[in-house]
Amino acid sequence: MAGSKNKKKSSPAKKTAAKKPLKTNAIKKIAQKLKIVPVRAVPKKVRVNPVFQPLLAQLRKRRHEITGQVSHLEADLRDDMIDNQNTPGDSADHGSGELNQHLSVTLMENDRIELERIERAISRIETGTYGQCETCEKNIPMPRLKAIPWATRCISCQSRAEGA
Min CB(152)–Zn ion separation in Å: 9
Min CB(63)–Zn ion separation in Å: 26
Which residue ranges make up the site for Zn ion (CB under 5 A)? 133, 135-136, 154, 157
Q: How far is CA 96 from the centre of its chain?
A: 37
Compare residues 77 and 121 and give the one whose CB is closer to Zn ion: 121
- End-to-end distance of the chain based on CA atoms, in angstroms? 90
Compare residues 151 and 157 and give the one whose CB is closer to Zn ion: 157
Compare residues 117 and 144 and give the one whose CB is closer to Zn ion: 144
Give the span between the Cα atoms of 132 and 135, in whole angstroms. Answer: 9
Backbone angles phi, psi at 154, to 5 degrees: -70, 165
Compare residues 128 and 141 and give the one whose CB is closer to Zn ion: 141
Min CB(133)–Zn ion separation in Å: 3
Min CB(154)–Zn ion separation in Å: 4
CB 131 within 8 A of CB 139: yes
